[in-house]
Amino acid sequence: ETVPSAREKRFWMRAMSQVGVLQPAMTSAVGQMFVALQKIPLPEVAPLDAATMLETVRDPAFVASGDPVRRELVAASLAGGRFMMRQIAPTLTTPQLDVMDATLMPMLRAVNRKIMVSVQESMFTQWQDTTELVTAVTPLQRTVSQRATIARTATLDAFKIGQQVAIGQLLQRGYFPFGGGMMWKTWVNMGDNKVRLEHQYKTGLAGQTVPWDQPYSNGDMYPGASTWNCRCINHYTWEM
């Protein structure tokens, strides 16, 4: 295949609609991290070295600012899980993800680290580029684009993780009682001109199909795990 099928595209559009609903809350949460970093006093010497950066981001206010982000990550993963269960198991009366699943929190923690590192790098780059470090408080208006990208990526990642975990939970619950079957996942992109080269069909990962619990050839368990702002998703199919 060189483009997503009509069924895959419908699935993608429904998923992205859900992500769009979740993103504003994540954007607000990520914004709180930027605000917390902006309030941390900086040393009067330049440049900031790695040790100073590490000590700065251990500030209790910045650490605490990550709590809303973590809550939104859990919320987005639960939404992704419910979405997946409704798509694959429409007869379930309570399509709810089990948050105690052993695979869920480690994957969300990885996304949380990804967010924190990005916020830190974004702010420190701006601080380094400012001549007067002591008064280098960058207005939030200058970080709107970065904040939106980070929040969109975080929401997408958590939503996709919820989908992945939901498949595992459905299998554990015996929702697929058929003998000899296998659950597969396929990397699906939007099929438009915004798709990056390495995620396209023919030239990239799109269309690649692997067992649901195995990584793709680039090591990602779900599309976009190792990059930013990826709209690609897993499309799951059960085959006998």
Taking the model in full, what pTM does it have?
A: 0.85
- The SS3 call for residue 238 is strand
Band of the pLDDT at 191, cuts 50, 70, 90?
A: confident
31 by Cβ neighbours in 10 Å (0-12 / 13-18 / 19+) ranks as buried
Band of the pLDDT at 177, cuts 50, 70, 90?
A: low
Look at residue 192 in the predicted model and tell me its pLDDT: 81
- Provide the token pair at 45: 């010497």
Look at residue 108 in the predicted model and tell me its pLDDT: 94
Which H or E element spans position 217?
Answer: none
Sheet holding 182-188, edge to edge: 209-211, 182-188, 233-239
Band of the pLDDT at 162, cuts 50, 70, 90?
A: very high
Region 9-16 average pLDDT: 89
**Is the pLDDT confidence value at 100 over 90?**
no
Type of residue numbered 52: T
**Is the pLDDT confidence value at 193 over 70?**
yes
Band of the pLDDT at 147, cuts 50, 70, 90?
A: confident
Instruction: Enumerate helices (H) and strands (E) in the chain, giving the number of each.
Output: 5, 3
- DSSP string computed for 77-125: HHHHHHHHHHHH-TT-S-----TT-TTHHHHHHHHHHHHHHHHHHHHHH
Which residue reads 């799109």 in tokens? 206
